[in-house]
Amino acid sequence: MRSVLRFDDAAGLSIPRAPHEQQRCLLYVHIPFCESLCPYCSFHRFELDEPRAREYFAALSREILMYRDLGYRFTGMYVGGGTPTIMLEPLLDIIGFARSELGISEISVETNPNHVCPEYLEPLRAAGINRLSVGVQSFDDMILRAIGRYEKYGSGQETCDRLQQAAGMFDTLNIDLIFNMPLQSARSLKRDLELIDRLNIDQVTFYPLMTAPSVAARLASSLGPISYKKEKRLYRLILEHMRGTFHSSTAWCFSRKPAMIDEYIIDYDSYVGAGSGAFGYFNNCIYINTFNLNEYIERVRAGLFPTGLVKQFTRRETLHYTLLMKLFATELPKSFFETDQGKDVREALRAELAALRLYGALRETPDSFVLTDRGRYLWVMAMREFFIAVDTMRDVCRRQAGAGSNQPDHIF
Ligand SMILES: C[S@@+](CC[C@H](N)C(=O)[O-])C[C@H]1O[C@@H](n2cnc3c(N)ncnc32)[C@H](O)[C@@H]1O
Ligand code: SF4
């Protein structure tokens, strides 16, 4: 992954018009502001500066319009962060704009536990949000204290109480948890799993701890050294517990009902990224927007796309990416191999598919290929490495943004 994710400078690059036969496409919108920064987090985020954030939101709408003017149409929108709900009013404006101007009807928004309260929930529901995803990370107060979230977002019990208030308000109420934190024991994870049974939530995403070099260094000094030794065991506990009442949406996301909105990278074959530090994947290319906030705002104001880096996938890389994402959903219907892309995958990756079956990662049913438990953990490791490669790329982008920036204290 690290060798594949090598990028070229995209300064001056023009984004092509949308193809006539556009694939189902998602609009990813990045809000890179948080109240304060968590030590394990490798995403692109700054401490909130309100006047700057207002300018940012204005630039964001312009960038989205630039894509619309090139013919891009979107079925869904995912607002991620940072903390998208950090300034509710401009967020609601963007959502209203996406619904009225772009006709988007399926909307997912990320938030933090302190915003799970009526003052935020009511307007978000009224704005037509379908999926609310709350970053819980752990219900264990010892872990919450160690990662600096107890003081900011409350105890595990307070978060449970807040989640109960949000139950039933959205089509999907998701929580994010992280497993394999240095301080996490099997007992602590089991307590979290038992709590989930008592909560009225629709979906749980268990991210394995992902540590790009910058995160590993920060975490080692606050939580202790990172190790993957217990990851497999913890994942087994999750799988055994969750499969009783939840359906697997991906190798690490569990939903009460099938067909709930979850990870957009598997639900959508292409996505456009808007906002500083956003990633997009379309036309077989990954595009990364500049991480420098000043540059982002200035370029968009000048009517230019803020793309900083681009990577064109070779045919083989596209096929590998497709296989990785499709099987992340744990089951690949055989009908996929009857599509153009599916035929390519089957022919070109015959050896890979055979190796996966030999390894015991794939099981064949009359209608599909299904990941076995061995295969699921293999996919957890593969996706973890994929995201670490993406996070490592973010480290590079931050360094580049810092080099050309007059706001060094905003670059991490
Ligand atoms: C980037 S955050 C944005 C939403 C919100 N601010 C929050 O804290 O949950 C989305 C999710 O990414 C996950 N995440 C962040 N850093 C991670 C890391 N180093 N390893 C695994 N998951 C991580 C967390 O579970 C988090 O909830
Ligand atoms: S985990 Fe969420 S709140 Fe914490 S720094 Fe990352 S984006 Fe911000």
What are the domain boundaries of the chain? 9-268, 315-371
Q: Report which protein residue has its CA nearest ligand 1's atom 26.
A: 135
Nearest ligand for residue 223 CA: 1
For the segment 195-209, the average pLDDT, to the nearest whole number, is 96
pLDDT at 404 over 60: no
Q: In whole angstroms, how large is the CA radius of gyration of the chain?
A: 21
Mean pLDDT rounded to a whole number for the chain: 90
Separation of CA 218 and ligand 2 centre (Å): 14
Tell me, what's the pLDDT at 263? 64
For residue 38, the ligand 1 atom closest to its alpha carbon is: 8
Instruction: Look at ligand 2, atom 6, and give the residue with the nearest C-alpha.
Output: 41
Question: 346 pLDDT exceeds 90?
Answer: no
State mean pLDDT over 335-348: 84
What is the predicted pLDDT for the residue at 260? Answer: 57
Side-chain-facing half-sphere of 356: CA atoms under 13 Å: 24
Residue nearest to atom 2 of ligand 2 (CA): 82
User: Parallel, antiparallel, or unpaired: how do β-strands 25-31 and 270-274 relate?
Assistant: parallel
Residue pointed to by tokens 């900011």: 152
330 CA to centre of ligand 2 in angstroms: 28
Cβ distance 289 to 31 under 8 Å?
no
pTM of model > 0.85: yes
Higher pLDDT pick, 301 / 319: 301
Q: Relative to the CA of 205, which ligand 1 atom is closest? A: 25
Best CA proximity match to 262, nearest among 246, 278, 239: 246
pLDDT in the model for residue 374: 97
Find out whether 129 and 95 touch, Cβ atoms under 8 Å.
yes
Task: Assess whether pLDDT exceeds 80 at residue 410.
Answer: no
CATH number of 9-268: 3.80.30.20
Instruction: Specify which residues 106 forms β-bridges with.
Output: 76
Per-residue confidence at 91, pLDDT binned at 50, 70, 90?
A: very high
User: Given this model, what pLDDT does residue 2 score?
Assistant: 65
- Average pLDDT of span 194-218: 92
Alpha helix ranges (H) inside 270-372: 293-301, 315-328, 340-348, 350-358
Task: Identify which of 38, 207, 222 to mutate to test ligand 1's pocket (most ligand atoms within 8 A of the CB).
Answer: 207
Three-state helix/strand/coil letters over 57-104? HHHHHHHHHHHHHCCCCCCEEEEEECCHHHCHHHHHHHHHHHHHHHCC
- What spacing in Å lies between the alpha carbon of 94 and ligand 1's midpoint? 22
pLDDT confidence of residue 355: 94
**Most confident of the following: 266-270, 275-279, 334-338, 340-344:** 275-279
Pocket of ligand 2 (CB under 6 A): 34, 37-38, 41, 43, 45, 81-83, 112, 135
| pLDDT of res. 14 | 78
Q: Is 81 in the pocket of ligand 1 (CB under 6 A)?
A: yes
33 lines ligand 1 (CB under 6 A): no
- Distance in Å, CA 80 to ligand 1 centroid: 10
Region 173-188 average pLDDT: 96
**Cα–Cα distance between 132 and 190 in angstroms, integer?**
24
Ligand 2 centre to CA of 357 (Å) is 38
The pair of structure tokens assigned to 354 is 């055979």
